[in-house]
Amino acid sequence: MTPEIFTSDPSWPYTKAKTAVLTAASAVIREEGPRAATLKNIATRAGITEPAIFRHFDGVDGLFGGLFSVYERIYGRSVESFSESGIQGLVKLRKASFSIVDAIAASRDFAYVLVCARHVFRGYPELKASVAANDARDQAQVLACVNEGIKSGELRSDLDPVSAAVAIIGGVYVTAVMWIESGFGFDIREAFADRWDDFERMVSVKPAAKSREGKAASRERSAAYFPLKPAPISRSKAGSVKKVAAAKGKADASKKAKPSKNSGKSAEKAPLKSAKAAPKRAVAAKAVAKKPTSRGK
């Protein structure tokens, strides 16, 4: 069961049993990739038998079709603010961006399917093409909001619209991926709010002031969300790295010690040539010695 879905979407079309199967499929894909989404793995994750899946879906293809329906439903709700009338520019961009993040946060079990849809549905060309079309539409809408903001004077006139749009889309995506990979270990809404505040101060004509305490709190949260320290290498992995390095060192040493075929051949040919040339030089020397000089005549 997915409490977030039933709470945030009162008209959720699936039963709890069907939702449990979809949730299990989403979890398998998130942890092991789309190819691991077999009936056996999904049934094991859901705690049911494989034949029980056929009560709800027509095999694996039917499951992916069901996941795509979930993606379309959550995606449609997340981008509703783009079509809202009466707002434009930075205001619309802010509302739409936070609506997308809210939709991701409210559908934790399906967050990976929503954020990484192209990867999830890559084995189904038609579904992948639909995801690509949605992505292109989002990019166009974000870009339109940025251009409206520049035109209205909310955003800096020297701002490159495409760069600003990429920064916003990338900010949502990276924050969501970090949240998923952390095991949902932080508040994604709070993390994105920090990123948005920084973005707005950089691009706005009249950025909102931020207190010293607010800056310190934001830095502290960012350090927790996005740690810069490299992840520690396990002992087994460190041992394998050392073995690879040692093998490479031995291979390099053997290459240096082993003479090349060309150098050996040239070394053999050199004495042969000199040996053949020696008799010829001796004969030439004798001929010179026997030749009479002009005084002898």
Q: How far apart are CA 146 and CA 140, in angstroms?
A: 10
Lowest mean pLDDT among 9-13, 185-189, 231-235: 231-235
pLDDT for 1:
40
Under a CB-based contact definition with an 8 Å cutoff, are residues 34 and 120 in contact? yes
Give the Cα separation of 72 and 94 in Å (integer): 22
> Which tokens in the block code for residue 159?
């701002």
pLDDT band at 251 (very low <50, low <70, confident <90, very high): low
Q: What is the pLDDT of residue 258?
A: 56
Residue ranges per domain, the chain? 3-225, 235-290
Region 153-173: mean pLDDT is 94
**Strand-pair partners of 155:** 204
Q: Between 251 and 97, whose confidence is greater?
A: 97
Is the torsion defined by CA of 39, 43, 49, 55 positive or negative?
negative
Per DSSP, helices labelled H in the chain are 3-8, 16-32, 39-46, 50-53, 59-78, 89-106, 111-115, 117-120, 125-152, 161-181, 188-203, 212-225, 235-257, 261-290
Q: CB neighbours (10 Å) of residue 265?
A: 10
Residue 56: pLDDT band with limits 50, 70, 90? very high
Average pLDDT of the residues in 145-154: 94
Architecture category of domain 3-225 in CATH: Orthogonal Bundle (1.10)
Cα–Cα distances in Å, from 222 out to 41, 219, 227?
36, 5, 8
Distance CA 65, CA 57 (A): 9
Looking at residue 85, its pLDDT comes to: 86
State residue 116's pLDDT score.
Answer: 96
Please state the rounded mean pLDDT for residues 166-170: 94
Q: Answer yes or no: are the C-beta atoms of 71 and 26 closer than 8 Å.
A: no
Over residues 245-263, mean pLDDT: 60
Whether 70 shows a pLDDT value over 90: the answer reads yes
Predicted local confidence at residue 47, as pLDDT: 93
Whether the predicted pLDDT of 214 surpasses 50 = yes
Q: Residue 295 pLDDT > 50, yes or no?
A: no
Question: Computed from CA positions of residues 276, 279, 280, 281, in that sequence, does the dihedral angle turn out positive or negative?
Answer: positive
Residue 65 CA to residue 127 CA, distance in Å, equals 9
**Contact criterion met (CB below 8 Å) for 93 and 139:** no
User: Is residue 103 over pLDDT 50?
Assistant: yes
In this prediction, residue 32 carries a pLDDT of 94
Alpha-carbon distances, residue 60 vs 43, 112, 240 (angstroms) = 11, 18, 37
Looking at per-residue pLDDT, the higher value among 3 and 122 belongs to 122
Q: State residue 250's pLDDT score.
A: 64
Mean pLDDT over the full length of the chain: 80
